[in-house]
Structure 1
Amino acid sequence: MRTAIIHDWLVTYAGAERVLEQMLYIFPDADIYSTVDYIPQGQRGFLLDKPVQTTFIQRFPFAEKKYRSYLPLMPLAIEQLDLSGYDLVISSSHAVAKGVLTGPDQMHICLCYSPIRYAWDLQHQYLKESGLDKGLKGWLAKAILHYMRLWDSRTANGVDCFIAISDFIARRIWKTYRRDAAVIYPPVDVDTFNFYETKEDYFLTASRMVPYKRMDLIVEAFKSMPDKRLVVIGDGPEFDKVAAKAGENVVIMGYQPTEVLKEYMQKARAFIFAAEEDFGITPLEAQACGTPVIAYGKGGVSETIIGLDGENPTGIFFPEQSVSAIVDAVDLFELEKERIRPGACRNNAMRFAPNVFRQKFSEFVDQYI
């Protein structure tokens, strides 16, 4: 059986690419397609060093850095890929990959990280953060996103089976496409995060500093709790804004290598997370270290952290993205911390190990081939 895997774009090794890597372990003979491929030699191990067939966008000026600027052309580009010779087509999609054309005798399974976020329920937030909520450019952006929604809805009909990365995304798929989706949680490389039971006297937050991560709220909350120490790891466009809100008890470390992040994560009293994520890998990495998580209780993390109302809790949820809610959650953690055991955190994280993903994904595909 000939198999093709189509991925939106290949420019880095991040969460979606880790899923693609596990797919290739299951289907090592699969051919890979993508709109663009700019993964350098020497970093292509997760692709099994296989060649990638790309679209005409690969040859466009400045596409290596500005590939997202060609988003309006990506539906056309993805439809030009000829996958008619394959029995099984797997799309790894958060944007356009699921729009590849397939025939009635081909099985098309889409692992959907999310319907196109910036075209659907997050459109207004995206436009505002990009400065495209008004003016001529704003109207042009809105027209393009309207076109993307029409195309995205139509191409959902070409998918035989949807897989969502969380119940949260399954609900978004139903809302957007009116299609049911099985849920298979993505793989987290938990074995590379060492379990550490002895904790030191600081809290940790770590993320790329972009608006929706709400790192500013976390820093501001700890500024109002001068008796508690916070370590902040990460960089990004909001770095200066976040740093300006830090008090003397907040240490802003900026970008740090992975090994440094792991060391701080292992020894932190708790990891603080204020974003609404589709899944949320970092809170699971913290739990793999035996570190509890204090998180905004919406989105995928509500499925990957066990709250105080569950058996063997691994963290605490706060109900809204606000300074006061974070402060209240930290206070509650101080009262209930003895109930949250490092071993329970580690055991919970192991449910998301790569071998679990491979087993469940293989079993799902086997139902249809």
Structure 2
Amino acid sequence: MKVAIVHEWLVTRAGSEKVVEEILALYPEADLFTLICALPPGQDDMIRGRKVTTSFLQNLWGARTRHRLFMPLMPLAVEQFDLSAYDLVISSSHAVAKGVITGPNQVHLSYIHSPMRYAWDLQYVYLAESGLTRGFRSALARLLLHYLRIWDLRTANGPERMIANSAYIARRIAKVYRRDADVVFPPVDVEAMPFSAQREDFYLAASRMTPYKRMALIVSAFARMPDKKLVVVGDGPELALVRRIATSNIEVLGYLEDDALRDRMRRAKAFVFAAEEDFGILPVEAQACGAPVIAFGRGGALETVVGPDSDRPTGLFFDAQTEESLVDAVRRFEEDPGRFTPENCRANARRFTREAFRASFKAIADAEIAKAGLKSAAKQ
């Protein structure tokens, strides 16, 4: 059985790319298709020695560094991949990958990280963040998003089966595509996370510094708590803003390599997370290191963090993305931090191991392959 794996773009090794790595481990003979491949040295292990097919976007000026500007061309580009020689097609999709064209004698499984966020319920957030709320450019962007929604909805009929990365995304899939989806949580390398039962007197926040991650909100909240130390890790468009509003109790480190970040997770009193994420791997990694999580109570965090009403809690939630709500959550956490033990945090993180991902994904794939009368090519 010939297998093709399709992912939108490979320009950094983030959460969705880690999912692709695990799928490649299941199907080591698979060929990889991606619109743009520009992984930097040190992050390109997953493509070494593997056949990688890119689209015409790969050769357009600026596509490798500013790939999102080429979104209007991506539906056309992904439809140009000729996958007719493959029995099993697996798309890893948060934008257009699920739109590949397959035939009736092929099995297409689509792992959905999210329906196209900027085309659906987060359209207004993205327009505001991009300064496109009014004027001709705004009208053009809205027209483009309108046509992207039509294309996205049409291509939702292509996969035989959809797999969501969380129950939260499964609900979004049902809302947008009117389809059921299995839930398979993304893989977390729990065993690689250094664990410690000893916590130090600082809070940790880490993320890509884009507006929806709300890192500036976390910094502003801790600026109102001068007796609480906060360490901030990450880079991105809002790094300059975060540095500007940080007060003397806040240390902004910028980007750190994985080992350095995990060392902070191993020692932090708690990990603070203010984004509404589809899943959110960092809170799971923090728990694997023994750190409890203070998270915004929406999205995937509700599935990965065990709240204080449990007899084995691993964190607590705040209800609104405001400074006041986060300050109140920190106050509630400090009333009895001993409730959130490092051992319980580590045990909870084990629900999301790489082995659990592979077993769940393979079971779904094998069921569809058997239904189609094919023989599994998954690594045992």
When the two structures are superposed, what TM-score results if normalisation uses the length of structure 1? 0.97
Residue in structure 2 matched with residue 154 of structure 1 by the alignment:
154
Alpha-carbon offset, residue 268 of structure 1:
0.8
Counterparts of 1:133 and 1:253, CA distance in 2:
33
Does residue 363 (structure 1) correspond to residue 360 (structure 2)? The answer is no
Counterparts of 1:248 and 1:44, CA distance in 2:
38
Counterparts of 2:277 and 2:117, CA distance in 1:
11
Counterparts of 1:289 and 1:191, CA distance in 2:
10
Checking the alignment, whether the CA contact within 8 Å between 2:296 and 2:319 is kept in structure 1 is: yes
Residue in structure 2 matched with residue 304 of structure 1 by the alignment:
304
**Residue-by-residue CA offset, 1:12-36 (whole Å, 9 max, x unaligned):** 2111111111001111111111112
Give the secondary structure class of the aligned counterpart of 2:272: strand
Equivalent runs, 1:151-230 vs 2, <5 Å: 151-230=151-230
Tell me which amino acid in the other structure corresponds to 1:107: V
Residue in structure 2 matched with residue 64 of structure 1 by the alignment:
64
Per the alignment, do residues 264 and 27 of structure 1 end up closer, same or farther by CA in structure 2, a change over 3 Å counting? same
Alpha-carbon offset, residue 177 of structure 1:
0.3
Residue in structure 1 matched with residue 281 of structure 2 by the alignment:
281
Alpha-carbon offset, residue 293 of structure 1:
0.5
Give the secondary structure class of the aligned counterpart of 2:185: coil
Checking the alignment, whether the CA contact within 8 Å between 2:222 and 2:230 is kept in structure 1 is: yes
Residue in structure 2 matched with residue 46 of structure 1 by the alignment:
46
Checking the alignment, whether the CA contact within 8 Å between 1:163 and 1:184 is kept in structure 2 is: yes
Checking the alignment, whether the CA contact within 8 Å between 1:127 and 1:133 is kept in structure 2 is: yes
Give the secondary structure class of the aligned counterpart of 2:336: helix
Counterparts of 1:282 and 1:306, CA distance in 2:
15
Checking the alignment, whether the CA contact within 8 Å between 1:18 and 1:46 is kept in structure 2 is: no
Counterparts of 1:43 and 1:62, CA distance in 2:
20
Tell me which amino acid in the other structure corresponds to 2:55: T
Alpha-carbon offset, residue 245 of structure 1:
2.5
Does residue 319 (structure 1) correspond to residue 312 (structure 2)? The answer is no
- Decide which moves more: 61-70 or 97-106: 61-70
Counterparts of 1:20 and 1:186, CA distance in 2:
10
Gaps of 5+ in 2: 370-380
Counterparts of 2:121 and 2:236, CA distance in 1:
24
Gaps of 5+ in 1: none
Residue in structure 1 matched with residue 4 of structure 2 by the alignment:
4
- Decide which moves more: 116-125 or 207-216: 207-216
Checking the alignment, whether the CA contact within 8 Å between 1:287 and 1:348 is kept in structure 2 is: yes
Counterparts of 1:244 and 1:32, CA distance in 2:
42
- Decide which moves more: 21-30 or 208-217: 208-217
Counterparts of 1:44 and 1:250, CA distance in 2:
34
Counterparts of 1:33 and 1:368, CA distance in 2:
21
Identity of aligned residues (%): 54
Task: Answer 1 or 2: higher relative contact order, Cα 8 Å, separation at least 6.
Answer: 2
Does residue 120 (structure 1) correspond to residue 112 (structure 2)? The answer is no
Residue in structure 1 matched with residue 32 of structure 2 by the alignment:
32
Counterparts of 2:52 and 2:333, CA distance in 1:
48
Counterparts of 2:198 and 2:26, CA distance in 1:
37
Counterparts of 1:311 and 1:197, CA distance in 2:
19
Checking the alignment, whether the CA contact within 8 Å between 2:12 and 2:40 is kept in structure 1 is: no
What number of residue pairs does the alignment pair up?
Answer: 369
Residue in structure 2 matched with residue 342 of structure 1 by the alignment:
342
Residue in structure 1 matched with residue 73 of structure 2 by the alignment:
73
Checking the alignment, whether the CA contact within 8 Å between 1:24 and 1:47 is kept in structure 2 is: no
Counterparts of 1:220 and 1:67, CA distance in 2:
31
Checking the alignment, whether the CA contact within 8 Å between 1:24 and 1:48 is kept in structure 2 is: no
